[in-house]
Amino acid sequence: MKIVSVYGTKKSGKTTVVTSLIRALTRRGHRVASLKYMERADRIDITSTETDIHRRAGAALVITSARRETAILRAAERRESLSQQLDHVGEEFDYLICEGQPDPSVHRIATAKHEEELERVISDQTVAISGIVATKLKDHRLPFFDVTRDLEPLVALLEGL
C-alpha cells in the first residue's frame, strides 16, 4: 500500500487535494482508504450522544452501527502513531491518503496559502506541492500541481512512487 500525506498550513487546500486524489485514484480502479488527522481535536465522538454516554460509562471500545456504515471508537491515552493507525487499514487497499498526518517518514504533498509558508511544511519526503499556493507559484525546486485545473499529472506522480 502506498501512503501519501497531504500536509500543510490551515485553510491551504488540503481537503480539496485529498478529495481530488481519492476521486481520481478510485476512477483509475484503485482501492483507497483515507485518514484524517485532527490536530486540535481531543475527541472524535460528539459530547452527549449515546456513544459518548457509553464511553463515559466506562466502555473502552464502542462500536456504532447504522444502516450503511459502522464506526469503531476506541479509548486511547494519547493519539495513536501512524504505525498503530495502519493496523486498522485492511490489506485490500492500494492507497492510504492522509490529510494532515505529520509523520515525516511517508511521502508528502505540501500545501500552504502563501509561498513563504512552504518551507515550514516541506520535509525530505515531500514529493510535490499543491493546494492554494500551487495556483500562485511561478517556480520551485519541487513539482507543483493545481488540482483544480489539472489533476492527472499529480495522480501519475503518485502511481509512479
How far apart (Å, rounded) are the C-alpha atoms in residues 112 and 9? 5
Cβ neighbors of 6 (< 8 A, separation 6 or more) are 14, 17, 18, 21, 97, 98, 99, 100, 108, 109, 111, 130, 131
For residue 136, what is the domain's CATH number?
3.40.50.300
pLDDT at 142 over 90: yes
At 78-108, the pLDDT tens digits run 888 899 889 888 889 999 999 999 998 999 9
Q: Which three cell numbers stand for residue 10?
A: 490551515
pLDDT at 24 over 90: yes
β-bridge mates for residue 2, sequence order? 95
Domain that holds residue 146: 2-159
The domain tally of the chain equals 1
Selection from 10, 38, 36 nearest residue 99 by Cα: 36
